[in-house]
Amino acid sequence: MSEEVMVQADGLVKIYKTKETEVLALQGLDLTVQKGELTALIGNSGSGKSTFLNMIGGLDRPSAGKLWVDGKNLFTMTEKELVLYKRETVGFVWQNNGRNMLPYLTAIENIMLPMNLSSTKHKRDKALELLSMVGLSQKKNSKMNMLSGGEQQRIAIAIALANSPKLLLADEPTGSVDSKTADYIFDLFTELNNNGQTILIVTHDMTLSKKVNRVVAIRDGKISSERVLKEEFKDRVNEGNIDWRAEETQDEYVVMDKAHRLQIPQELIDELDLKDNKVKITYKDGNILITKP
């Protein structure tokens, strides 16, 4: 794997089994994330995006395929290697703040807690530095019940960064906060990314995803499309005069898998008004045309 690649997933499959059924959460997912990228994953509930994030975080094992993160093969890791991986390589920000913080500890104690599992020196100094970075130095002695939802999420980001992870994972980081706090959190992610932090976000927040340079859409356990920020918006992300909800800030591309299959957007299928699952494909004037039989 190239030294410039942070995440490499090839043909990733995940099957959840119960006594009665099998659920195919990932169906041959392929994705490459370069070091230093800020990437958003979007998709409907059940599309497989959170399953994929949990696998990268070392919280779930693939059923088949290959998954490498920072040169480490997650498919063949021992339990001991996995513990070290979760401690040193990835940081996780959950949507549910109850999973991010221990309620009986103060903000600074929560941030220092992951450092107790490492050889990090000057734990308190680093915790204070992280509190300042998320704009909450004055809340260092506050416990969870004394913090707003947005403040808890910002503390969660500081906790996730406590051991200087190479990859920061965030599952719906703006899902339970107001729009002003969501903007603050996104600006924080952008600042971290500008300083070289690789970040992978799962989000339903379309306003946030429109500001991200690369958005990967997952449908039915596979990558279906990618959206890339247009050049004219790349240097204007933090400008307040852009209506991110209304403007088309990204170009969208349907992704072709290794077997040359495409997932055609549902709205285009609806326009074709198909009677069955067959289409006709022709090539004309440099374009591939998909039509009804």
Q: Using 50 as the pLDDT threshold, list the residues of the chain that sit under it.
A: none
pLDDT at residue number 134 = 92
Query: CB-based burial of residue 77 (10 Å sphere; 0-12 exposed, 13-18 middle, 19+ buried)?
Result: middle
**C-beta atoms surrounding 140 within 10 Å:** 17
What's the pLDDT at 9?
Answer: 93
pLDDT tens digits, one per residue of 70-100: 999 998 899 999 989 998 899 999 877 777 8
Q: What is the pLDDT of residue 211?
A: 84
What was the pLDDT predicted at 119? 55
pLDDT reported for residue 210: 84
What pLDDT is attached to residue 23?
82
What pLDDT, on a 0 to 100 scale, did the predictor assign at position 50? 87
Q: Is 144 helix (H, G, I), strand (E, B) or coil?
A: helix
User: Of the candidates 149, 156, 155, 152, which has an alpha carbon nearest to the alpha carbon of residue 131?
Assistant: 155
Distances (CA, A) of 85 to 34, 74, 82, 162, 167: 18, 9, 5, 14, 11
Q: How many C-beta neighbours within 10 Å does residue 196 have?
A: 9
Residue 230: the pLDDT is 86
